[in-house]
Structure formats: C-alpha cells, structure tokens
Structure 1
Amino acid sequence: MQRALLIAGPTASGKTAYAIERAKPEGALIINTDSMQVYDVLNALTARPSADELAQAEHKLFGHVSPAQRYSTGGWLNDVAPLVDDAAASGRMLIFVGGTGLYFDALINGFAQIPEIPQEVIQEVEAVIQPMGEAERAAFIAAKDPKMAARLQAPDPQRVARAISVMEATNRSLADWQDDDNAPSLLEGWSLEKTVLNPERDLLRARIAKRFSMMMDGPAMEEVKALLALNLDPSLPAMRAIGVPELSAVLRGEMSLDEATEKAVTATRQYAKRQRTWFRTRMKDWHWIDPFA
C-alpha cells in the first residue's frame, strides 16, 4: 500500500529536521505544505530549508511561486497532484511537511469546488481588512458572514479576506461551499501516518527568537530589499509575510532594527499560537510528539 507521512506543527518546531530524518532511510520525497514557503525571494525569512538541508533529501514545492502571485489552497493541490501520481506509479513514500492546516485538511479530506474569485474583488476586500485589528476583523466577518465567522478559530487577515471575497463574488457563504461535496482526497486509499510536532511552549518561544536573530544575521534584509524592488501590490500574501512589513519599515527609516526584530518575533509567536489552536481543534486524532524531549 502507498504510504505518506504528514508532519504538521507550529513555526520553529523542528519540522524540517524531523522530515529529513524520516526521509533518508526511505528515500522519501518531501513536499512543502506551508503557504509562505512556496514563495520565491523569501528564502530565509520564511525559514525554507537551507541548501545543506535540501541536499540531504529531495524536496518539492519550495520557492516555486512568484511573490507577485496570490497562491491558493487549490493551486497547491493542483501542484501536488502530479507528484502524488508519480509516487503512486513508483511506490515512493511521500512526506508532507509544513504549518498550513488548510493544506493538510484539503489533502486528506478533499477540497470544495469554489469558483475562481476575481482578483479585483480580493484586492478590494484586502484593502478594507488590512488596517483592522483582530477584534474589528471578528466583528466585520460576523456581520458579513456569520456562518463562516462561527467556524473561524481565529479571525486572521488571510482567512477573513478569503471568506468575505467568496461571499462578495458568489453571494454565498464559504461555509456553504465547504459543506458541498468535495473533490476526493488526493491520498484516498493511502496509508497515512499523521504527526503533529508539539514542543514545550517556552522552548518554542526561545527557538522563534533565536531563529529570527539568525535571519537578521543572514540575508533577511537583502531579501526584503529584493522583494520591495519588484514594486508589488502590498496586499499580496508574500508582502505580508512576517518580517516583511517590519523590515520594510526599517528600510524606510520609520523603525529601528531592534524594534522591528521585537515586533517580528512577537508576531511570529502569535502566529505559532494560532497554529497550535488550529491543530488542537482539527488534528486531535493525530500523533502528537515533542521532537526535543
């Protein structure tokens, strides 16, 4: 039977090292399952595997998307499908690793067949949501789409923008689309080992701070300069990656490097907390391990 290992976990939880450790004995293919690590340019800032790590096992779907694009869960599934077909034909084990719960959910349970949403609708909605705080976003989606608001564990900008855009374009709640029959799972019939990496909280907080410090000692600032040189729409997902707004403010002289680092570390810790909330709610039946115990 075809086998796949699914490795989820919050940012900085050691997923890359664990995936490589598991891939080596099997000759498995590692497939990115993180919505930020798909983007080109942002190598260090999204904590993509290093050149040394990439050399230890074959990796796919890392940095393969232009930051000028609005990549989606559906787009990711389209890119994954031929890799799954190839593995099924060869008998090769696959390892899916990342921190994007929606990708894992779509991979296992299939994906709602939602019509393509026009870019102008998405941009208009994102422009409205961008200045809002969490409480404002929660109130906004509760008013616009109460059914979907009840399903969101945390009203983060990307999910709120997605839900409102679908409502605006189709006059139908994203929740209703999700309740329709999904396309079948790409891994239907496969043997799945499902693991969530769950480090101790204080250790994870320390790892997040240390990792961002290492990014700053490396090419993070140069990556942001390269991204800004593309003159992209600031509402694009790549432009909102943690660290990009903060370091952009440094380059504009609006913020000190120490302040930007502090803000980015705080944002990363908040993101990790949201990830854990999602995993606890949606991945209760997965195998939870502390990779550093």
Structure 2
Amino acid sequence: MKDKLSIGEFAKLRNITTETLRHYDRIGLLKPIKIDPKTGYRYYSILQYEELGTIKELRQLGMSIDEIKKYFNNRNLKQSVNILEDKHNELKKKIKELQQLEESISEKIKHLQDISKVSDLEGIFIKEIKEREIITFDKSIKNEIDLSYACLQLENELKEIAPIVASNRYGAIIKQKDIGLNKYLESVVMFLFIKDKDNIDENHIIKIPKGTYACMYYKGSIWDREVHLKKMIEYIGEKAYRVCGDILQIVQIDISVTDKKEEELFEIQIPIKKY
C-alpha cells in the first residue's frame, strides 16, 4: 500500500472532486505534500485522510472556510467542543425553521386544495367560528396603492419564518357602523390573522370573538364587496338575525397563486345574533 497518492486517487477516497482539492490548496485549507515542479501534479499522503474527512464533515455542518480554518488552528479539545456546540445550536435552529416552513407549506397546500373545491359561490350559509386574533394598524385603504402598503406593513410586523403567500390569513375589516349607513367602501382596514404573538406590539392585536357568522364566498376583487354585502344584510334580516360586529372579508385565493382574475376568491364573514 502506498502513501503518496495522486490528486485523483485521494479525491476518490473521500468521494469529492479533484477541483475541490485544488480549491482547498489555493485557499490554504489543505495543501498537498508535494507538487511536481515539472508537471504541476499534486500528491497527497494517506495520512491526510482524517483531515480531509473532518473538512468534509464540517462543510456538511454548514461551516464556512474561515470557520474550518479556525477549527484547525491550534486544535485542542475545549476549542473543538465549543465550535461544535455553536454549530450544533445553529443547526437545531435551522431545523426548527425548516420544520415551521414545512408545516406552513403543508397547511397552504391543504387550504388551496380544499378551497378550490368550493362550488356554492354567492350562496349564504351560517357557521360557528372560534375566537381568533388579528394584527391591524387600523389604516383605511381606498385603492390598490393603499392596499399594497398596508399588506407590506403587516408582513413586516410579523417575525415569522414562513411566508404569508398562498394563505387565507389576509383580510379586510368593514366597520359595523358604516354598514348601518350603507357605506360599504368606507373605513376599510387590512388585517392579518396571527399565529404567534411573540415580538408583536399588543396595541395592534385585536381579538375577533367566537360566535355565529353569516358567510359567503365570491369570486372577484377585494373591491367587489358591496353587492354581496347588500345581499347578505338582506338575508340576515329575513332570518331574524342582526349584525353584531365588524365584518371580515378574507382572502382565500389571490394573485400570489394565480394570474387569472376569475380564480381569485374571497369570503365575507358577518357576525350575527338573533333578535
């Protein structure tokens, strides 16, 4: 068995490329034991097998080249343990973030699959809904520009890993007082349902009480609410109910997942009580 190995032989031992070894040589991370001055061929010792293996494992842990160089600089047990502990903590944090992202994507896929099966559009139905919490800055929106800024401000306030796209967490609040005055486009503000209150200013959090809601799905834009609200208010009166709170207009399918206007879907939820 030989000690001196060609760059190809040495690379094969650790299942890496020769270009990776050349790169490690250029940056001073792992030098060959000899370079033939005539041919420029690099040769490595089998005794470097452990060092190369350690480099590969540290790279798998996500260490940068500078971090690996530090690891090999005057190695001792305490230093190595401290570095590995730091990297382990980073890895656990990343795993947690990936788990949160996976859960979020799974929820979004299920939501989109379920909501795409809704067939009773513009039909009114009654359902019981549990308490929810939202974040809002209570700023009125009048047009698409206002809407864009409102959504951006809400997203920036959250400290979540997973993106908000393709979810049913956005919505608009239509004030009860305006409905009584037949003002369906006045004082409309954007909100987001929240999952985690950490690092969110409590002053911006509102509880949406549990209760009975008259609901309707419709296709169109967020601004196409008036005709549907009038129909729902009429229905509520006919069924001997009364509106008992602010109305929610929730995005179910929006432009984050489709360019087709006819596929955009909203749900209106009106809190009601019997007279």
**Aligning the two structures, in what range does the TM-score lie when normalised by the shorter sequence?**
under 0.3
TM-score, with structure 2 as normaliser: 0.22
Relative to total residues, which structure has the larger helix share, 1 or 2? 1
Q: Which has the higher contact order (CA 8 A, sep 6+)?
A: 1
Larger Rg: 2
Relative to total residues, which structure has the larger strand share, 1 or 2? 2
TM-score, with structure 1 as normaliser: 0.21
